Structures are given as structure tokens and as C-alpha cells.
Amino acid sequence: MAADRAHEHPGEQAHPRPIRLIAIRRTSLSLDEVFQAVGDEAAGGIALFVGTVRNHDAGADVDALGYSCHPTAEAEMRRIAEKVVANHPVRALAAVHRVGELAVGDTAVVVAVACPHRQDAFQACGELIDDLKHEVPIWKHQRFSDGTEEWVGA
């Protein structure tokens, strides 16, 4: 009986307004800000993903890169967030992406999802970052050590 009552608790359900932070920024990103944005007393699991600039891609050394975006990018991030909260029992969600020139080691994107249970949080966070990467019009301009460069993005 106790297990049946647990599923009746309002904390087991998605929050009515779970999208807490969606932003594209030119300044450094804060993991603390994103983590605090998804704080929720009913959440038993928070999954947080941090994307950083690595020093290589496809076998080539990366010296630097820049991110740029279409003016609709933030609205597209929100659309994806809404899709994620429709598919999972999300208590809170946050996503921020940086644009501008970044150095190797810089934080490029931070997403976090809080759910009543850890597996839901992992799944929702994975869907959020995967869809953000594939669907939001943000482009990466990589500059390689050998003098070549390439554009990558949704």
C-alpha cells in the first residue's frame, strides 16, 4: 500500500512550469547557476551535462574555435526544452550555450534536468543535449593547428 501512495504524491509528477533557464550568452557559463536553477525538493535526481572545448577533432589538433548562432537559436532551445518536458516527468530544466570566441578547455554548453528519479533525469538530460546539438542553429568554427578550418553545426 505504501508504494501505491508514493505514486500519488504530487512530487512524482512533472512540475507545471519546469523550464527555469534558457539562454545564449557571450560571457562565461556558470555551472552553479544552472545547478541552482534546477533545484527542486521533489527531485530525487539531477543530471547535469557540461560540454567543453577539446583540443582535437577528427584526428586534428584544434587551436581555437568560435560559436555563432541564428537569431532564433534561443527560441529553438526553448522548443526543444518543451519537447523534453512533454516526454519526461521533469521538475526543473535549464540550458545555456555560449557564443563568441572560446579557448580549449572553456565551457561551451551546460544543461541540467531534475526529475523525481535518476533514470528519468539521465534520459531527459541526454535527450535535451542531443536534440540541442542537432537542432538548434548554433555553428562552430574550428581552427586547426595545420592552418585549416571548418564549420560544424545544426
Write out pLDDT tens, residues 71-104.
999 999 999 999 999 999 999 999 999 999 999 9
Confidence of residue 3 (pLDDT cuts 50, 70, 90): low
Write out pLDDT tens, residues 29-74.
999 999 999 999 999 999 999 999 999 998 999 999 999 999 999 9
Cα-based distances in Å from 117 to 78, 99, 146: 23, 32, 47
d(CA 139, CA 66): 8
Residue 14 has pLDDT above 80, yes or no: no
What does the pLDDT read at residue 12? 81
Q: Average of pLDDT values for 11-34? A: 91
Average predicted confidence (pLDDT) for the chain: 93
Residue type, 17: R
Residue 122 has pLDDT above 70, yes or no: yes
d(CA 103, CA 26): 13
What does the pLDDT read at residue 16? 72
With residue 18 as reference, give the H or E element that holds it: none
Confidence of residue 1 (pLDDT cuts 50, 70, 90): very low
Residue 27 has pLDDT above 90, yes or no: yes
What does the pLDDT read at residue 6? 52
C-beta neighbour count of 136 within 10 angstroms: 24
Cα-based distances in Å from 73 to 3, 51, 67, 134: 43, 17, 12, 12
Contact at 8 Å (CB) between 110 and 38?
no
